[in-house]
Amino acid sequence: MSRGRTAGVIVLFMAYLAVGNLLFFVPLVDQEIIQPWTRVNAKASAAIASGLGVETRAAGTVVSSGQAGLNIMQGCNGAHALLLLLSSILAFPAPWSRRLIGIVTGTVVLLGINVVRIVNLIVVARYFPDKLELFHLAIWQTLIVFIAVALFLVWGAFVASRSTADIGADLD
Amino acid sequence: MEIVRAAVAFVVFLAVLAPARWVGLGPLYGKAVLVVAQAIVVPTQHFPLLAKLDNLTLNNLEHVVILTFALFLVSTNLDFASRLSRFGPALAVIFAYHVIVVILTIKVQATQELLTSMNILVLSPAEFRVVDWLRYFAYDLGLEIAPFVMLILTSAWNLTASREQRAGVENRACPPRKKKRQRAGGPSRSGRRHLAAAAIGLGSLVVFASAAVLYGRWRETEPRHVEAHAKIGHLLWNSHKDALAEAQYRIALAGRTTDPEVFYNLAGLETRSGNRDAALRLLGQGARMAHTPEWRARFQKATVVIQARSTSP
């Protein structure tokens, strides 16, 4: 990619991020998308944790297990990591069909992993409450970003391999 | 390969995190950021309210610094000098970005505190929304943006380095043909493109700066903003910081304040400086702004006292 094109990708990435961040502040988006999604996160996490033998209840965006209670807020619902991934996929020069594949796959994987994150945090909050901050803010916050980056790199490799295959087919 | 590199960096990050916490790197880094932010905020603040930035703690800023260090260690495709030339400026940018985060957080916190405790509106609702949005973008979302960007950058740097190495090996085996000599006279195509980019950048900067200056001027005449200057003047006056209070009163006066207390207190300062004519003029103006009998009586009494002093030998 030329230097000018790279700069264009970076500008687009930042623009998508800024627009996404702006959407978080729109009450309608918060009420109709973010909050319901966060409640789904809470319910799914509580169900999985209970299935694993850690009795957990969900009420709105709050999950509680024993004495421990967690309120799932913006950032812990996977919305930030998803915004980063979607912004990078949208900014990267690729055909729309491949972007769509990246967006759908990335969204499913990332949000699935976010449920695993919450289940893990429920277990830590219940049995190792003094380690909650470490897991919540240091490990998982970086790990979820790492997973978003890994998804982007895998998608990028997929796009590149398909492009090479397309060129090969054209030459044939 | 780059995913493996990122995974190793994550493991290194976790390994360094514990000793970093043990030596107190987080508070130390936070303090360094705060010192620089204080050196910028205190002398340049629009309302002179903050003398220190002691009571601000932003958690986890050091995580991206530790991650960058881990990425530096695992970037084996780059030689040491190349790593320094890439990760050094990256760390400087991260530090500067954290200073901006602190400044935005202070703005938001100070605005909320002044509004709830003293009913002083230092930022208009629209301005507050913009600053709060920026703070969220830089801090809440930024805690994830910064590691994301660093991981992507590291991958790109390592990939580019390995491609260059491969190209170098191929070139040695089969040297490329010499490029056509550039035509003489006039800038090249890329040169023209750079010139155009510089012109657009400079033009945008001029437009942005002009808009900021115009907005700043308009803001100083906006009634709610003028009222904020007057109220902060009162706050400083009651804390016996007369010079600072006078500066705020003068700004409020230039913005055509209708607060009688501004005129009254300024007249007091003028009297203390021996400027009785100026004091009488201010009392006259203030009397016209006074809408309550109490204020009218105060202005009348003060006028009489100053006039008596000026006529007595």
Domain that holds residue A23: 3-163
Give residue-wise pLDDT tens across range A86-120. Answer: 999 999 988 899 999 999 999 999 989 999 999 99
Residue A71 has which token pair? 């309120």
CA distance B285 to chain A (A): 45
Mutate to test the interface with A, among B148, B152, B189, B190 (most CBs of A within 10 A): B148
- Contact: B10, A146; criterion CB under 8 Å: yes
Whether A115 is in a domain gets the answer yes
Q: What is the pLDDT of residue A168?
A: 57
**Which chain B residues have a beta carbon less than 8 Å from that of A24?**
136
Q: In this structure, are residues B83 and B168 in contact, taking their beta carbons and an 8 Å threshold?
A: no
- Contact: B63, A21; criterion CB under 8 Å: no
Q: How many angstroms separate the Cα of B305 from the Cα of each of A25, B261, B296, B299, B308?
A: 57, 17, 14, 10, 5
Separation between Cα atoms, residue A142 and residue A136, nearest integer Å: 9
pTM score of the predicted model: 0.79
Residue B262: alpha-carbon gap to chain centroid: 29
Starting at the earlier edge strand, list the strands of the sheet with A62-65: A57-59, A62-65, A68-71
Residue B16 contacts A where some CB pair is shorter than 8 Å: no
- Taking 90 as the threshold, does the pLDDT of residue B211 lie above it? yes
- Is this complex's ipTM strictly greater than 0.90? no
Question: For chain B, what are the domain ranges?
Answer: 2-174, 223-311
Residue A75 contacts B where some CB pair is shorter than 8 Å: yes
**Which chain A residues have a beta carbon less than 8 Å from that of B144?**
75, 80-81, 84, 141, 144-145
Count of structural domains within chain A: 1
Whether A138 is in a domain gets the answer yes
Whether A172 is in a domain gets the answer no
**Which chain B residues have a beta carbon less than 8 Å from that of A146?**
6-7, 10, 147, 151
Burial B291-312 (b: 16+ CB within 10 A, else e): eeeebeebbeebbeebeeeeee
- Contact: A150, B3; criterion CB under 8 Å: yes
B223-311 — its CATH code? 1.25.40.10
- Taking 80 as the threshold, does the pLDDT of residue B185 lie above it? no
Q: How confident is the model at residue A45 (pLDDT cuts 50, 70, 90)?
A: very high
- Contact: B7, A146; criterion CB under 8 Å: yes
Please report the DSSP string for chain A in residue order: --HHHHHHHHHHHHHHHHHHHHHHT-HHHIIIIIHHHHHHHHHHHHHHHHHTT---EEETTEEEETTEEEE--TTTTSHHHHHHHHHHHHHS---HHHHHHHHHHHHHHHHHHHHHHHHHHHHHHHH-GGGHHIIIIIIIHHHHHHHHHHHHHHHHHHHHHHHHHHHHHHH-
- Contact: B63, A148; criterion CB under 8 Å: no
State the average pLDDT over residues A37-46.
Answer: 91
Q: In this structure, are residues B104 and B221 in contact, taking their beta carbons and an 8 Å threshold?
A: no
- Taking 70 as the threshold, does the pLDDT of residue B182 lie above it? no
Whether A131 is in a domain gets the answer yes
CA distance B137 to chain A (A): 6
- The set of residues, in sequence order, having a beta carbon less than 8 Å from that of B239 and lying 6+ positions away, is none
Q: In this structure, are residues B26 and B16 in contact, taking their beta carbons and an 8 Å threshold?
A: no
- Contact: B152, A149; criterion CB under 8 Å: yes
Separation between Cα atoms, residue B224 and residue B259, nearest integer Å: 12
| Nearest CB neighbour to B14, from listed A139, A141, A148 | A139
Give residue-wise pLDDT tens across range B234-277. Answer: 999 998 988 999 999 999 999 989 899 999 999 999 998 888 88
Q: How confident is the model at residue A164 (pLDDT cuts 50, 70, 90)?
A: low
Give residue-wise pLDDT tens across range B88-128. Answer: 999 999 999 999 999 999 989 888 988 888 888 888 888 89
Whether A169 is in a domain gets the answer no
| Nearest CB neighbour to B59, from listed A25, A81, A137 | A137
